[in-house]
Amino acid sequence: MKKLQLRNILLILHKEIIDMLRDKRTIIGMIVVPIVVMPLLSLGMMGLMMAEMKKLEEKPIILGICDNSKTNLIKSSFEEPDQNGNQMKVKFVETEDEEVLRQKVIAKEVMIGIIIPEHLEDNLKANTSTQIILVYDKSRPQTDAIMPKVLNIIRNLGNSIRDERLKNLGLSEEFIHPLKLEYEDLATPKKMGAFIIGMILPYMLLILSVAGASNPAMDLTAGEKERGTLETILVSPASIEEITFGKFFTIQFASIISTLLILLSYFVFLKIGLFASMADIYLKINIPLTSLILILLLFFPASGMFSAILLTLSIFAKSLKEAQSYMAPIMVLTIFPAMVSLLPGIEPSFLLAIIPVVNVSLSIKMIITEDFNLMLYTVTFLSSTIYAILCLLLTINIFKRESVLFRI
């Protein structure tokens, strides 16, 4: 490798950043989408979900009932307020034929059907069990939301009958519950927040890093080939290495800036309370400055590796269109290893610390959840740096090939 002139690298970097910031497409992709569109989309989705849930709460539950016992026992239990004094809004559709009730569930006329057998009263008197049948359609989205409420009411009715029977026998509830469980969760809200952020943040950082680098990578190489400006810079006295470094740092700059912008915008949206329900969790965590520095340090070689890979693929492409077709597989190849932070039970290890993307994802999770291990962090940092350097050397090698540069 010839002696590199830092001056030329900085000149190329400066020019590429000016050029990039004057490109409307890059501005939209790098700034507008991350700081406005993505949070608003998330906000919109969340708002929509919350509105739907509220609508479901307010809407009366339509239950079908086929009471063969004619006792009205189950129906009246739905009309009583619960322990907290809340009254469930229920509308009953009564039928005398079980098959008709099933048809009504299928036809979505009722949400859940309840079939009560003829001998309910006799069974109650004889202190035996009675089988109540719940008819439902699992493929309906409302079923999962309503079923726990219906079960709760029927279970409460069953419990009060049980308690009455025990009382008649002179026994207390403790007789049938010899062991009682009490739950004591030591996770503080801060720790819970760290746990959730620790799962999401590594995945987001890695995916956003690739997404932020892909547009500039394509524009600075395949785009320049298409526009004919690559040949112009190649005849300048800047060496291939200097040109590659200049373009590489521009892409990495774009990747880091767009990722940081999106995280910052989410933070601001949380801070001003737009994601009220999420803010309760996230704002309770306080990532120390040292952790942030450790994450950024690790993010540097990771984004470097992505930038070099995207640069190599883009320079190889004949046109922007061909370069775009290479981006989707890279995204898929990043998504899966990055998702490791979302999976429960996968703990950082020395083997995982040398697997690209997986290592960074797990290390960031490790830093946020305060399970920091310096040895694993160092291995991750070093291996990521080595991968980034190797990818950059490969890029320079590819950039030097006539067959690639003039593959038009």
Partner 1 sequence: MLKVQNLYKTFEQKKKEKIEAVRDVSFNVNPGEVYGLLGPNGAGKTTILRMISTLLKPTRGEIFVKEFNTKDSSLDVKRNLGFLSGSTALYDRLTAEEMVKYFGNLFGLEKQILNQRIEEIFSLLKMNEFRNIRCGKLSTGMKQKVSIARTLINDPPLLVLDEPTAGLDVLSAKNIIDFIKRSRDKGKAIIFSTHIMSEAEYLCDRVGILHKGKIYYEGTLSEIKQKSKVEHLQDIFFLLEEQESEKTPA
In the complex, which residues of this chain contact partner 1 (CB under 8 A)?
Answer: 2, 7-8, 11-12, 15, 18-19, 22-23, 227-229, 231-232, 234-239, 402-403, 405-406
Comparing CB distances to partner 1, the nearer of 85 and 228 is: 228
Comparing CB distances to partner 1, the nearer of 116 and 238 is: 238
Given CA atoms 297, 302, 306, 312 in this order, what sign does their dihedral have? positive
Comparing CB distances to partner 1, the nearer of 91 and 227 is: 227
Pair 130, 68: CB distance under 8 Å:
no
d(CA 231, CA 324): 21
Nearby residues of 317 by Cβ (< 8 Å), 6 or more positions away: 218, 221, 222, 225, 323, 325, 326
Q: Which backbone phi and psi does 64 adopt, to 5 degrees?
A: -95, 140
Comparing CB distances to partner 1, the nearer of 271 and 401 is: 401
Comparing CB distances to partner 1, the nearer of 12 and 285 is: 12
| 3-state DSSP assignment of residue 161 | helix
First to last CA, the chain: 27
d(CA 197, CA 189): 12
Comparing CB distances to partner 1, the nearer of 23 and 322 is: 23
Residue 19 CA to its chain's centroid (Å): 34
Q: Which amino acid is at 262?
A: I
Shortest spacing between CB 14 and partner 1, in angstroms: 9
Shortest spacing between CB 231 and partner 1, in angstroms: 5
Shortest spacing between CB 261 and partner 1, in angstroms: 21
Q: What would the two tokens of residue 232 be?
A: 């112009």
Shortest spacing between CB 301 and partner 1, in angstroms: 29
Comparing CB distances to partner 1, the nearer of 227 and 271 is: 227
d(CA 107, CA 175): 45
Shortest spacing between CB 250 and partner 1, in angstroms: 13
Pair 99, 147: CB distance under 8 Å:
no
Output the 3-class SS for 307-357: HHHHHHHHHHCCCHHHHHHHHHHHHHHHHHHHHHHHCCCCCCCCCHHHCCC
Shortest spacing between CB 216 and partner 1, in angstroms: 13
Shortest spacing between CB 249 and partner 1, in angstroms: 16
| 3-state DSSP assignment of residue 63 | strand
Shortest spacing between CB 329 and partner 1, in angstroms: 23
d(CA 267, CA 244): 34
Comparing CB distances to partner 1, the nearer of 22 and 177 is: 22
Comparing CB distances to partner 1, the nearer of 12 and 357 is: 12
Shortest spacing between CB 254 and partner 1, in angstroms: 15
Q: Which amino acid is at 222?
A: A
d(CA 153, CA 330): 51
